Chains A and B, each alone.
Chain A
C-alpha cells in the first residue's frame, strides 16, 4: 500500500517525532523516552513514517537509528508553496478582471 505524506503528518505524535529526529538521528528507545507512550506505539509511528519515505534507518552496531529524510520534507513544502502560488496567480488575474468590470460599469 502506498502511504500518503498527508496521512503521515496528520498525527500529532508523528509530527513530534519528525521534530525530534530533525535535530539528530535517534533510536526508537530514545524517541519513546520523549513520549508518554509505549515503545511499540513509537515503532508503529516510525513504520508509517518509513513507508512514506519521510525517515530513513541506519544500523549502527546493534542499534537502529532513525533520521529525517529532509528532501522528502522539502518536496512537501514545495508542493504547498506551488499550490499556494497557483491561487495567488489566479486571484491576481481576477483582480484585473474585476477592475475591468468596474470600469465598464461606470
Chain B
C-alpha cells in the first residue's frame, strides 16, 4: 500500500516539505544573519508591535467555548456531505435520486432545527 500511498498523496508530501522548508529557512536565516541585541522591551510578549497589555494568559469568556462547540457540531455535519456528494450521481443513475436526496434532507432539517433554535436564542450573537 505504501507505494501507491506515495504516488497518490505526493502533492501533500510536497506541501509538507515546502512548508517545513519555508519555516526552516525563515527561522534559520534569521538566526544566522540577524543581529542579536536583546532589550527588556523585546522580551515582552509580541502583540503586533503594540505595547502588551497584561500577560498573554488571561482567561477567556465562556462565549468562545460555545462558538467552538457549535463550530464542531456543524463541522461534523459537513463531513457527512462529502461521501453523500460523491455517491449522489451513482444513486441518481440507479433511479434512487429522490431517495438519497430525501435522506440528506431529513438530516439537514433536523440540524436546521438546531440552527433555528441557536439563532433565535441568540447563541450566535456577540452581545
Please say whether chains A and B are actual partners in one complex.
no
